[in-house]
Amino acid sequence: MDRELFRWFLTAGRAASGAGNIAELGAYMGQSAVLLGDHLEDGEELTVIDLFEAQADDAGNLEENAVSYPGLSRQGFEANYTRIHAHLPRVVQDFSERIVDHVAEGSVRFVHIDASHLYDQVVGDIKAAKTLLSEAGVVAFDDYRATHTPGVAAAVWEAVASDGLHPIVLSSKKLYATWGDPAPYVRAIPRQTSRWTSEIQSVAGADLLVLSPAHHETYRWIRYLPPATVPHAKRARARLASWTKR
C-alpha cells in the first residue's frame, strides 16, 4: 500500500504539490530511498539524512538504534542504492533535524520522516519538515500508530491539533499530511485499487482518507470460519489460485 501511495504522491500527486526536491529523514539500508529516487524529475534532488554508524546524543535514541538497527552502515546504504540507481542521492550523516542545514527552505515537495521514533526527536523532525516543505508539500510519517512507537503518534497528532498539519490519507503503517490544503489530494487519490479499499472520515474539521488493505476484501469469507481453520483455508485458497494461474 505504501509503495503505491509513495508512487502516487510522487507522480500524479505532483499536480497538487508542484515540482520540488524530495527528502528522507532515516534512510537505514535504502529500501524507501530507492523508491523515492525513482521519481526525481529534471532539476530535483533527493537528500537522505541518517546517523548511520554515528552515535545518537541521548540515551533513548542510542538504545533505540543499537537494538533496532544492528549492522547498519553508510556503505551498506550506498551499495544498496547504487544497485538500483546510477547515482547516489545527497547523503548526509547527521541528526535528522539538521536536514534544514542541507536543504533549502520551502524547496521540498515530499518528505519521509522515518528516523528516530521517539517523541522529542519526532517533534524536531516535524519542525524541520515544516521548514523544508513547499506550500502544498507532503510529509509522510512512518509508524504513526504502532504500539511500540507512542512518541510518533503523540508528536504527529499534536501537530494536527495545534500546528495546522492536515492529514490526507492513513494506511495501516503511514500517515500522509500537508500544511497546505489537503482537499485536492483527498479528492484525487484513487478510492479503490487492487491494493486498498477506502473510506472518508472527518478529523479536526477536515476530510481524510482511511485505507484498508484490499486483501481484507479477498478474504471476506474468513469471518464465517472457525478461527482454527483459517490458516488451512488460506493455504488451500493460495494453492487453488496458483493452479488456476497455471
Ligand X SMILES: C[S@@+](CC[C@H](N)C(=O)[O-])C[C@H]1O[C@@H](n2cnc3c(N)ncnc32)[C@H](O)[C@@H]1O
Residues of this chain that bind ligand X (CB under 6 A): 26-28, 31-32, 49-51, 56, 61, 65, 69, 72, 95-96, 114-116, 121
CA–CA dist 82, 91 (Å, integer):
12
Q: How far is the CB of 137 from ligand X (least distance, A)?
A: 18
Nearer Cβ to ligand X, position 50 or 182? 50
Q: How far is the CB of 162 from ligand X (least distance, A)?
A: 23
195 burial level (CB within 10 Å; 0-12, 13-18, 19+): middle
Q: How far is the CB of 97 from ligand X (least distance, A)?
A: 7
Q: How far is the CB of 173 from ligand X (least distance, A)?
A: 10
E strands along the chain, which residues? 21-25, 46-50, 90-93, 108-113, 133-142, 166-170, 174-178, 196-203, 206-213
Nearer Cβ to ligand X, position 61 or 198? 61
Nearer Cβ to ligand X, position 16 or 47? 47
Nearer Cβ to ligand X, position 72 or 160? 72
Q: How far is the CB of 218 from ligand X (least distance, A)?
A: 26
Q: How far is the CB of 196 from ligand X (least distance, A)?
A: 19
CA–CA dist 33, 54 (Å, integer):
19
Nearer Cβ to ligand X, position 76 or 213? 76
E strands along 95-187, which residues? 108-113, 133-142, 166-170, 174-178
Within 13 A of 128's CA, how many CA atoms are on the CB side?
24
Query: First and final CA of the chain: distance in angstroms?
Result: 26
CA–CA dist 173, 2 (Å, integer):
8
E strands along 67-217, which residues? 90-93, 108-113, 133-142, 166-170, 174-178, 196-203, 206-213
Nearer Cβ to ligand X, position 95 or 141? 95
